[in-house]
Amino acid sequence: MGGGPMRSASLLEYLSRRYSVDAIFFRESGSPDPALSVPPGRIERLDVLELPRHSKTALARAARNSIRMVRNRPPLVDRFSGFEDAIQRLATREQYRVAVVEHFWCATYVDQLRPHSQRVILDLHNIESAWHGSLAQGEKGTRAMALRRFATACVALEREYLPKFDHLLVTSEDDARIAGAIAPDVASTVYPNALPEIPRPARREREEIVFSGNLEYAPNILAIRYFNQQIWPQLRERWPGLKWKIVGKHPEAIQSIIGGDTRIELTGFVEDAIAALAQSRVAVIPVLAGSGTRVKILEAWAAGTAVVSSTLGAEGLGCRNGEQLLIADDPSDFARAVSGLLDSAALREKIGAAGRRFFEDRFTWANAWRSLDALFAANLDGAI
């Protein structure tokens, strides 16, 4: 499960344990029924809206995004648009104490939910304008121009829609500051990304480093390209037996980047990402773009695996360089940090154990849920 679905699952689990919940899910054409992933009895009523079928070929995506540029419409806002009548119809069945909207992409539906909800809350997984803007800095040419245009469009939409909500959930204090500057009259709560309680797995280290994530996610593609071009060659030469394992769904999205390097292993999707991370000596997070916080670091911490990250990759987590992870931004510094951990089992154990403790103290669902108690428990009674 990716970072976005994991956050949504955590929030849904919190609410369904305490309140009567109705839910509206979106589903990609041909994907599994969302109802199958919800534990029995957790949701009173579940409705599924089918997204239009979209081709995922590069040509089709380029064509869609060209039209979106002309219309000044960010891709995911456009993708999830057009369901006003359906949501209006579903919302009229009940008068809700609170409606919770997941992702800024769906923020425009506040107008349909407001008449049937006493309060409307938006869960911001990212600050979308920051997400597009940071990604634009790592791209060139037409793609960079498109991302800058989408960032500008997101700023306008954020200024229009964030003030319409009664409360915002954000992943970090950094995002809270950005959201506060956009909508100063709307209060926000830092609800951190988190994972369920996970027992520390047995560590069976191989001579490998690991990167994990959804491999068609643009910031992950940019990170892999950067690491492959500027950092991996240094490590490959320094460590003749070292392998780089890349874990995640949609491996075809990066196949052309890694070429035929036999020392790079693409595992594809794995059922237990934590166990897979526990096999590696170092988790590398060379993230150059994005917003929110990186669940891939939480997973590495849960596995007890030492982490080397860029500054942006570790942003918002409240960790310290040299304690729960190592931070490096220059390619040579990054390679040296990884090599230092590969050289020293004691240092790997120290950093990995500190990361595991940090995960247990702050980033389990139970710990993250505490930040929601004042917001929900003190103000709500009955159906949501």
**How does pLDDT run along the chain (384 residues), one tens digit per residue?**
677 889 999 999 999 998 899 999 999 888 888 777 777 777 889 999 999 998 888 889 889 989 999 899 999 999 999 999 999 999 998 999 999 999 999 999 999 999 999 999 999 999 999 999 999 998 888 889 999 999 999 999 999 999 999 999 999 999 999 999 999 999 999 999 999 999 999 999 999 999 999 999 999 999 999 999 999 999 999 999 999 999 999 999 999 999 889 999 999 989 899 999 999 999 999 999 999 899 999 999 999 999 999 999 999 999 999 999 999 999 999 999 999 999 999 999 999 999 999 999 999 999 999 999 988 875 565 445
Q: Which residues, listed in sequence order, are joined to residue 120 by a DSSP beta bridge?
A: 99
CA–CA distance, 324 with 144 (Å, rounded to integer) = 34
| Residues 23, 45 contacting (CB under 8 angstroms) | yes
Sign of the alpha-carbon torsion through 271, 27, 195, 172: positive
How confident is the model at residue 382, as a pLDDT?
Answer: 45
CB 131 within 8 A of CB 153: no
The span from the CA of 33 to the CA of 38, in Å, is: 10
Cross-sheet strand order for the sheet of 117-123: 96-102, 117-123, 167-170, 187-190
Where is 209: in which H helix or E strand? strand 208-212
What confidence score (pLDDT) does residue 378 get? 59
Domains of the chain: 3-195+365-376 (3.40.50.2000), 208-362 (3.40.50.2000)
Residues in Cβ contact with 283 at an 8 Å cutoff, skipping those fewer than 6 apart: 209, 210, 211, 212, 277, 296, 297, 300, 303, 305, 306, 307, 308
- Say if residues 71 and 78 touch (Cβ distance below 8 Å): yes
DSSP string, 1-16: --HHHHHHHHHHHHHH
Beta bridge partners of 264: 244
Listed in sequence order, the residues at least 6 apart from 219 whose beta carbon sits closer than 8 Å to its beta carbon are 131, 134, 135, 287, 288, 289, 290
Q: How far apart are CA 51 and CA 47, in angstroms?
A: 13
Count other Cβ atoms within 10 Å, centred on residue 81. 13
